Chains A and B, each alone.
Chain A
Amino acid sequence: MAVNKNNVKIHVSHLKKNFGNLEVLKDVSADIHEGEVVVILGPSGSGKSTFLRCLNRLEEITGGEVIVDGHDLTDKKTNINKVRENVGMVFQHFNLFNNLNVMGNMMLAPTELKKATKAEAKENALRLLNRVGLADKAEAYPAQLSGGQKQRVAIARALAMNPDIMLFDEPTSALDPEMVGEVLQVMKQLASEGMTMVVVTHEIGFAREVASRVIFMEGGYIVEEGTPDEVINHPKQPRTIDFLSKVL
Chain B
Amino acid sequence: MIQILTTYGGLLLTAMGQTLLLALCGLFFACILGLIFGLLSVVKNRACNIISIIFVDAIRGVPMIVLAYFIYFGIPYLLNTIMGFGGVTLSALQAGTICLALNCGAYMAEIIRAGIESVDKGQMEAARSLGLPYWRAMFRVVLPQAIRTMIPSIINQFIITLKDTSILSVIGFPELVNTAKNVVANSFMSFQVWAIVAVMYLIVITILSVLAKQMERRLNRGRE
Q: In the bound complex, do residue A112 and residue B136 qualify as a contact, i.e. CB atoms below 8 Å apart? A: yes
Contact yes or no, A84 B129, CB < 8 A: yes
Tell me whether A95 and B130 are in contact (CB under 8 A): no
Instruction: Report the bound CA distance from A84 to B129 in whole Å.
Output: 6
A102 within 8 A of B: no
* A99 x B130 contact (CB < 8 A): no
Contact A56 B224 (CB under 8 A): no
Q: Does B140 contact A (CB under 8 A)?
A: yes
- Answer whether residue B223 sits at the interface, using C-beta atoms and an 8 A cutoff: yes
Beyond contacts A81-B131, A95-B123, A97-B141: 14 other A-B pairs, Cβ-Cβ < 8 A, are A82-B131, A84-B128, A85-B131, A88-B130, A93-B120, A97-B123, A97-B127, A98-B145, A108-B132, A109-B130, A112-B136, A112-B140, A113-B130, A113-B131
**B222 proximity list for chain A (CB < 8 A):** 141
Q: Which residues of B contact A38 (CB under 8 A)?
A: none
CA distance A235 to B170 in the complex (A): 82
* Residues of B with C-beta under 8 A to A108: 127, 130, 132, 140-141
> Taking the complex as formed, is A157 at the interface, i.e. its CB lies under 8 A from any CB of chain B?
yes
A102-125 residues with Cβ-Cβ distance < 8 A to B are 108-109, 112-113
For A143, give its contact among B127, B140, B223 (CB under 8 Å).
B223
- Is B131 in contact with A84, judged by CB distance below 8 angstroms? yes
A161 on the B face (CB < 8 A): yes
Tell me if A95 and B126 are in contact (CB < 8 A): yes
CB–CB B223/A56 < 8 A:
no
For residue A81, which residues in chain B have a CB less than 8 angstroms away from its CB?
128, 131-133
Chain B contact residues, majority secondary structure: helix
Query: Which residues of B line the A interface, CB within 8 A?
Result: 120, 122-123, 125-133, 136, 140-141, 144-145, 148, 222-224
Chain A 87-103: CB-based contact to B (< 8 A → 1; otherwise 0): 11101010111111000
Across the interface, name the chain A residue whose C-beta is closest to B136: A112
- Whether B123 pairs with A112 at a CB distance below 8 angstroms is no
Interfacial chain B residues near A141, Cβ < 8 Å: 222-223
Residues of B within 8 A of A84 (CB): 128-131
Q: Which of A131-186 contact B (CB under 8 A)?
A: 141, 143, 154, 157-158, 161
Chain A residues with CB under 8 A of B223: 98-99, 141, 143
By a CB distance below 8 angstroms, the chain B residues around A58 are 125, 128-129
Interface contact B125-A95, CB-CB below 8 Å: yes
**Complex Cα distance A157/B131, Å?**
12
**Contact of A161 with B145 in the complex, beta carbons under 8 Å:** no
State A141–B128 Cα separation when bound (angstroms).
21
A161: B residues at CB distance < 8 A: 130-131
Query: Are B128 and A95 in touch, CB under 8 angstroms?
Result: no
How long is the Cα–Cα vector from A112 to B144 in the complex, in angstroms?
16
Sorted nearest first, the 3 A-B pairs with minimum C-beta distance are: A85-B131, A95-B126, A109-B130
Q: Which of A82, A97, A143 contacts B126 (CB 8 A)?
A: A97
Q: List 20 A-B contacts (CB under 8 A).
A: A81-B132, A81-B133, A82-B131, A89-B126, A91-B129, A93-B120, A95-B120, A96-B126, A97-B127, A97-B145, A98-B123, A98-B223, A100-B141, A108-B141, A112-B132, A112-B136, A112-B140, A143-B223, A154-B126, A161-B131
Residues on A with C-beta less than 8 A from B130 are 84-85, 88, 108-109, 113, 157-158, 161
Report the separation of the CA atoms of residues A85 and B140 in the bound assembly, to the nearest whole angstrom.
Answer: 17
Chain A residues with CB below 8 A from B140, complex form:
108, 112
Cα of A133 to Cα of B132 in the assembled complex, Å: 27
